[in-house]
Chain A
Amino acid sequence: MSQLMIEARDVVRSFGQTPALRGATVAVEPGEILAIMGPSGSGKSTLLHCLAGILVPDSGEIHFDGRRVDTMDEAGRSTLRRDSFGFVFQFGQLVPELTAEENVALPLLLGGTRRDAALREARPWFGRLGIDGLERRRSGELSGGQAQRVALARGLVTSPKVLFADEPTGSLDSLTGEQVMDQLVVAAREHGTTVVLVTHEARVAAYADRHIMVRDGKVAALTPERVLS
């Protein structure tokens, strides 16, 4: 059996007195596209942030590719996020002062790649995601769908092992959202990228290989075994 890409066991995380996760357990296989679903306030985004090393759980364990994440210090988690993870959020969160290609190249620049080499790596992504010709535009000159594709390119440019996407189509109309999801799935499959996707939309979750449901800070099973046992 292959080693899991991500494994979280009994993860607990509170914000002040408010518990967000109350013992969440989840496992993600290499190359899998997993959708985390749940109603607003269920803890699904907190779970994604814990899996990605953005938040540290109060208790429980998180493993990535055989390494323990929850006990790493901030510098270790920062390196992990930069070298092994990519991110796409609901609102692309592009840097407005930079051009689209500079935004895509940004993770490479932050990792120490020289500017011309970083831009050389960034440019092919515009063709792959159907946004060629937009390389020199700034985020204010892009439509929502174009900006989200640029954000997707930025999330994938370092060839991360895992792409974390938090409501990546939440700000788009349904047709544009589906085009972005389609490209996300194609790009992830081509590069063997594992994807952890948070969404409250069933149509977005339907692009995933598997889905889990977070309710009241715990992961609910969606298979009949638990009910039938």
Chain B
Amino acid sequence: MSVPLTLLGLLEREPSHGYDLKRDYDTYFSRGRPLPFGQVYATLGRLARDGKVVISEVRPGVGPERKRYVITEAGATEFDAWLTEPIEAEPHLQSVLFSKVVLALMLGRPAHDYLDVQRGAHLERMRQLTEIRRSGGLVDALLADHGLFHLEADLRWIDTTTARLDALRAEVVKS
């Protein structure tokens, strides 16, 4: 799970303060492990240093200064590349895939298409493992089987999620 890329995705939706980013991250992506404020600001600092976000305004107040972060062209390009490229097809990808799907829905991007592309990457890997299974010995076949069963479980999750995209969109997109 990439915190910097997820924060970039949330900033692609709208310019935000660190506090808002932490709140949305914890709501959708942290799964019971809230992101420490220190990590939020350290990550934003690195993203700013690398030219992927800029600070649009600093509002002094009673507490710490409130900085509003805006994604840059470079940041948007990096996020877009991450979102649209399928992940290397290995088992146990649900958390990354889930983040991609939620961010795609939040941004009005074609989540359906991303899941189709990921399905394609998974099936291609399964095809390779099936070939190993067919041409190798028993040990290779059993190891390939292990990968195939896990990839198949991921694919079932992809199919289920595809079937429920409308409901998920209603849940994660602010009206």
Query: Are the CB atoms of B117 and A227 closer together than 8 Å?
Result: yes
A205 touches B123 (CB 8 A): yes
Q: A39-B163, A202-B152 are in contact. Are A224 and B117 (CB under 8 A)?
A: yes
Tell which of B84, B129, B148 touches A224, judged by Cβ atoms closer than 8 Å. Answer: B84
Interface pair A222/B123, CB less than 8 Å apart = yes
- Complex partner residue of B155 from A39, A202, A222, A228, CB under 8 angstroms: A202
- Is A202 a contact partner of B117 (Cβ separation < 8 A)? no
For A186, give the chain B residue with the smallest CB separation. Answer: B134
Contact A202 B122 (CB under 8 A): yes
The reply on A154 being an interface residue by CB < 8 A is no
Please, what's the 1-or-0 string for A55-99, where 1 marks a CB less than 8 Å from any CB in chain B? 000000000000000000000000000000000000000000000
B112 to chain A, nearest CB (A): 8
Number of interface residues of B (CB under 8 A): 23
Docked Cα-Cα span, A11 to B126, in Å, equals: 30
A226 x B159 contact (CB < 8 A): no
Among A46-54, A111-119, A137-145, A206-214, the one that faces the other chain is A206-214
> Are B86 and A203 in contact, with the CB atoms below 8 A?
no
Chain A residues within 8 Å of B51, by CB: none
Check: A4 CB closer than 8 A to any chain B CB: no
Within 8 Å of chain A (Cβ to Cβ): is B116? yes
Does A27 count as interface, using CB distance less than 8 angstroms?
Answer: no
Q: Which of A7-59 contact B (CB under 8 A)?
A: 39
Contacting residues of chain B (116-134) with chain A, CB-CB under 8 angstroms: 116-117, 119-120, 122-123, 126-127, 129-130, 134
Chain B residues, Cβ within 8 Å of A185: 134
Chain B residues with CB below 8 A from A202, complex form: 122-123, 126, 151-152, 155
Asked if B69 lies at the interface with its beta carbon under 8 angstroms from chain A, I say: no
**A211 in contact with B159 (CB, 8 Å):** no
Contact with B along A195-229 (1 / 0, CB 8 A): 00000001101111101010000001111101110
Which of B86, B113, B123 meets A226, CB within 8 Å? B113
For the complex, give the distance between the alpha carbons of A206 and B163 in Å: 22
Distance to closest chain B CB from A200 (angstroms): 9
State whether B113 touches A211 (Cβ < 8 A).
no
A5 CA / B55 CA spacing, docked (Å):
58
Q: Which of A203, A213, A223, A224 contacts B152 (CB 8 A)?
A: A203
Bound together, the chains give a CA A203 to CA B127 distance in angstroms of 8
B85 within 8 A of partner (CB): yes
B110 proximal to A (CB < 8 A): yes
Q: How far is the CA of A7 from the CA of B127 in the complex (A)?
A: 24
Say if the beta carbon of B79 comes within 8 Å of chain A.
no
Binding site for B on A (CB under 8 A): 39, 182, 185, 202-203, 205-209, 211, 213, 220-224, 226-228
Sample 30 A-B pairs with CB under 8 A, ordered by A number. Answer: A39-B159, A39-B163, A182-B134, A202-B122, A202-B123, A202-B151, A202-B152, A202-B155, A203-B152, A205-B123, A205-B126, A206-B126, A206-B130, A207-B130, A209-B127, A211-B120, A220-B113, A220-B116, A222-B120, A222-B123, A223-B117, A224-B84, A224-B85, A224-B86, A224-B117, A227-B84, A227-B110, A227-B113, A227-B114, A228-B84
